[in-house]
Amino acid sequence: MFNTVDMHCDTIMKIYQSKQQGTAERLRRNTYQIDREKLEKGEYLLQNFALFMDMKETDSPYTTCKEMIQCFHEEMADNQDWISPVTTYEEILTNQKNGKISALLTMEEGAPIQGELKKLEEFYKDGVRMITLTWNYPNEIGYPNAAFFDEQSKILSVNQKGLTKQGIAVVQRMEELGMIIDVSHGSDQLVEDVLTYTNKPFVASHSNARAVCPHFRNLSDSLIKKIAERGGVIGMNYCDLFITEDGSGSLIEGLVTHIKHFRDIGGIDCIGLGSDFDGIPVTQELIDASTVSKLHQALIQAGFSTQELEKIFYGNVLRLYKEVLR
């Protein structure tokens, strides 16, 4: 038996799109990587559900995000017999006691708040408790690594921009509110700026180790150490391109290699899970949420202790949620 806490998936985006298209995909049962049966087979305690929209595919990120929030709450109402939304650590424990999976609402792409603290507070009232500050485009909050990566040379520029003046105000207000700052996708400088202008632990909800796989979406050893020293947690992303340099080989063996590296660099307390299910290509090794026990078993075979596995699969994330969420 084990419990699974996953800091990132894009399932609500897929369900929202399916409703727009008039198809019948729902959270209870669908053809995606996360639904009731898959979560229950994966022994999930909590799943973060991200509100994601590509800024180039919507005329109004704010409006699209509000519609996705409505979609999330409709799904929660339709599935209240087995899953329930949470905004605090205590609610997670209550759901566990009642035999329910917890759902934490997050936002991937800070553009919907338009750099405005009033909109940030509005989304907090809507139940959003984590914000990935940027996706792959600059926004009012800051800059992503994608903006500083040269596709031809495969070099990530060291001359970067991080948080904007508005972005500094946003992350500081997030701390005051009890919202979790998420630096996945952010530029290296953005992570440094978050470290400079905030005090509490934060996350990189779905990022791996750049020293193991040199993709700009992964974190440098220096940043891994600094996030870990702050008490932060980094969720392992199951996307093959972030695991091995050419996206080939064993996905699970690659993830074990990343997890070992994180343990060596930042310590066991900085490691969590952030699958990115329904936002990444489907692979046969970890086809959906029901197969996460394969990773658990591989880590046992790699010599990880029961205590270490508990920290990776749920303990580290819950510790941070207990400290930050309000």
Residues in the chain, how many?
326
pLDDT value of position 147: 97
Task: Say if CB 133 and CB 182 are below 8 A apart.
Answer: yes
The percent of residues above 70 in pLDDT, for the chain, comes to 100
pLDDT value of position 248: 85
pLDDT value of position 142: 98
- Domain residues for the domain of 137 are 4-324
Partnered with residue 51 across adjacent β-strands are 107
> What's the token pair of residue 193?
């700026």
**Domains in the chain, number:** 1
Specify the DSSP class assigned to residue 10.
Answer: -
How, if at all, do strands 203-204 and 233-236 pair? Answer: parallel
Q: Which of 38, 36, 66 is nearest to 51 (CA)?
A: 66
The pLDDT tens digits for 32-60 are 999 999 999 999 999 999 999 999 999 99
- Residue spans of the chain under pLDDT 70: 1
pLDDT value of position 2: 77
Q: Residue 126, SS3?
A: coil
pLDDT value of position 11: 98
Q: Does the reported pTM lie above 0.85? A: yes
The pLDDT tens digits for 103-160 are 999 999 999 999 999 999 999 999 999 999 999 999 999 999 999 999 999 999 999 9
Buried b (16+ CB within 10 A) or exposed e, 184-204: bbbbbbbbbbbbeebebbbbb
Task: Please list, in sequence order, all residues whose beta carbon lies within 8 angstroms of the beta carbon of residue 272, skipping any fewer than 6 positions away.
Answer: 5, 7, 203, 233, 234, 235, 236, 312, 316, 317
Q: Which of 45, 217, 12, 215 is nearest to 127 (CA)?
A: 12
Question: CA quadruple 85, 204, 9, 313: dihedral positive or negative?
Answer: negative
CATH code for the domain in which residue 56 is found? 3.20.20.140
- Number of C-beta neighbours around residue 62 at 10 A: 17
